[in-house]
């Protein structure tokens, strides 16, 4: 695939859940070799499901679109379910990405998984 899908362009131009969470239950950051970065934050409800997920990014449209779609996929999942979300799932929900942009999507996924692991650590330290 060498073109961007309409869905990818929509998420890049109208990112969902852009912003900070003041007191997140989990947060993770990832950087790409290009110098761009993504910060993902999430909160959990009392059933340990992701109630909110937001991001900030300095990156290309593929990184922003990937982070945006991740925030939508994350909500309502348990941390265990969220940990199973793969980088391939993200690309699938964007309808595909050009091969040379896969690492941008991977960066957003890596930041999300770091946020999920941080939430898991926080949960396990409570018991
Ligand atoms: Fe740097 Fe895509 S994140 S080029």
Q: What is the pLDDT of residues 59-100, one digit of tens each?
A: 999 999 999 999 999 999 999 999 999 999 999 999 999 999
Burial of 40 from C-beta contacts in 10 A (0-12 / 13-18 / 19+): buried
The answer, yes or no, to whether any atom of ligand 1 lies below 6 A from the CB of 98, is no
Q: pLDDT averaged over the chain?
A: 96
CB 42 within 8 A of CB 26: yes
Q: Which of 120, 30, 36, 20 is nearest to 71 (CA)?
A: 20
- Among 12, 37, 58, 59, which residue has the most ligand 1 atoms within 8 Å of its CB, making it the best to mutate? 59
CA distance 54 to 42: 6
pLDDT confidence of 47, banded at 50, 70, 90? Answer: very high
CA distance 95 to 116: 24
Token pair recorded at residue 68: 């945006």
Active site residue 60: no
- The structure's pTM equals 0.96
Token pair recorded at residue 69: 């779609």
**Ligand 1 center to 127 CA (angstroms):** 39
CA distance 48 to 91: 26
Domains and CATH numbers, the chain: 6-119 (3.90.1010.10)
The answer, yes or no, to whether any atom of ligand 1 lies below 6 A from the CB of 60, is yes
The answer, yes or no, to whether any atom of ligand 1 lies below 6 A from the CB of 34, is yes
């Amino acid at each position: 695939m060498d073109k961007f899908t309409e869905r990818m362009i929509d998420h890049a131009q109208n990112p969902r859940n852009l912003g900070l969470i003041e007191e997140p239950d989990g947060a993770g950051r990832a950087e790409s070799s290009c110098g761009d970065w993504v910060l993902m934050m999430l909160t959990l409800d009392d059933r340990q499901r992701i109630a909110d997920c937001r991001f900030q990014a300095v990156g290309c449209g593929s990184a922003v679109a990937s982070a945006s779609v991740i925030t939508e996929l994350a909500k309502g999942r348990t941390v265990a379910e969220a940990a199973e979300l793969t980088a391939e799932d993200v690309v699938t929900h964007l309808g595909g990405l050009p091969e040379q942009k896969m690492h941008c999507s991977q960066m957003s996924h890596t930041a999300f998984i770091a946020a999920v692991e941080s939430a898991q650590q926080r949960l396990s330290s409570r018991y």
